Amino acid sequence: MSSEYAIEARGLAKSYGDVHALRGVDLYAERGSMLALLGPNGAGKTTVIRILTTLLIPDGGTATVGGHDVVRAAARVREVIGLTGQEMSVDGLLTGRENLVMMGRLFHLGKAAARQRADDLLEQFDLTEAAGRQARWYSGGMRRRLDLAVSLITAPPVIFLDEPTTGLDPRSRQGMWEVIRKLMADGTTILLTTQYLEEADILADRVALIDGGGVVAEGTPGDLKRRIGSERIEFQFATDDVAEKAQLLVGGAVLHGNGLSVPAADPAEVRHLINRVADAGFDATGLEIRRPTLDDVFLTMTGQTEGATL
Ligand SMILES: Nc1ncnc2c1ncn2[C@@H]1O[C@H](COP(=O)(O)OP(=O)(O)O)[C@@H](O)[C@H]1O
Ligand SMILES: [Mg+2]
């Protein structure tokens, strides 16, 4: 079975006992692009990745990776993918270099070729200095980079990254983004899962929002930002009643008690919206401007039409 997409899934369903982890997931990623699967804990992201990487058989639906069916041609799929899971897969007692060389040998590279590949990857992932140290002494960010390097030994054209930056400090996260960008520049197709809106926005060509085992919206990061705004204005009013009236003046606002959360595309629109509310005679008792969070995305998306295209 061939597909024009590097990754394509239709109607994927999976239950664990009576937990319906996936309830019909549709996804696609064009060759050489990055799709970010964005969703909170428990949304079903890892389950999608496990099915697409042949580690788990779906109860329903079909999927292809590199044109191969993930169930009927699982061995072919494994030849074209790399996977970096949420848990560390490297051996802590081996050095960074030893981990990479061992993996290269496992994939039938000759001794010299395995060493060369290890050195190239250590360099690419900024681990040359730490190459001779046991992996158990690596920082969180270094460990994730080594994990990623190990999954790239065979230079697979499609890679899956399951929350590669969760729990990393901001600097390590930036380092991870840099190496992911290099992979993208090489034309690798990437499916990345994340709980960070900012990460999906910065890296991905397309974003699929997943919640409760289903894709609730999908589109480009630009589409996403147009819907939720790249800034949010938080108004507080004296009473719920005033907040409700102010809501009628602005588009896409979310009301919570006497608070009103309003999306804005840019600083100019922030000013414009604040003025509009003030000019209409609604005095805000509190005012705050902040970046949108994943919660805002879901409030905005799922509070409106389900399954909408952004
Ligand atoms: N092995 C399992 N047994 C039972 N329930 C599971 C198992 N794996 C995941 N789940 C449940 O399935 C749902 C989706 O989990 P998961 O795919 O890991 O989500 P995410 O990766 O987005 O956090 C959650 O409710 C989770 O508790
Ligand atoms: Mg997960």
**Are 161 and 20 found together in one domain?**
yes
Supply the residue whose CA is at minimum distance from atom 2 of ligand 1. Answer: 16
The residue range of the domain holding 235 is: 229-291
Cα 57 from Cα 310, distance rounded (Å): 30
Q: Total domain count for the chain? A: 2
**Are 41 and 96 found together in one domain?**
yes
Counting ligand 1 atoms within 8 A of each CB, the residue from 15, 47, 48 with the most, and so the one to mutate, is 47
Counting ligand 1 atoms within 8 A of each CB, the residue from 12, 14, 16, 83 with the most, and so the one to mutate, is 16
**Are 135 and 236 found together in one domain?**
no
pTM of the model as a whole: 0.84
Ligand 1 binding residues, C-beta < 6 A: 16, 19, 21, 39, 41-47
**Are 57 and 100 found together in one domain?**
yes
Distance of CA 213 from the midpoint of ligand 1 (Å): 9
The answer for residues whose C-beta is within 8 angstroms of residue 307's C-beta and 6 or more apart is 214, 215, 216, 217
Query: Residues 231, 264: contact at Cβ < 8 Å?
Result: yes
pLDDT tens over the chain, length 310 residues: 456 799 999 999 999 999 999 999 999 999 999 999 999 999 999 999 999 999 999 999 999 999 999 999 999 999 999 999 888 789 999 999 999 999 999 989 999 999 999 999 999 889 999 999 999 999 988 999 999 999 999 899 999 999 999 888 888 889 889 889 989 999 999 999 999 988 998 999 999 999 999 998 899 988 887 777 788 899 999 999 999 999 999 988 889 899 999 988 888 999 999 999 999 999 999 999 988 877 777 777 765 433 444 5
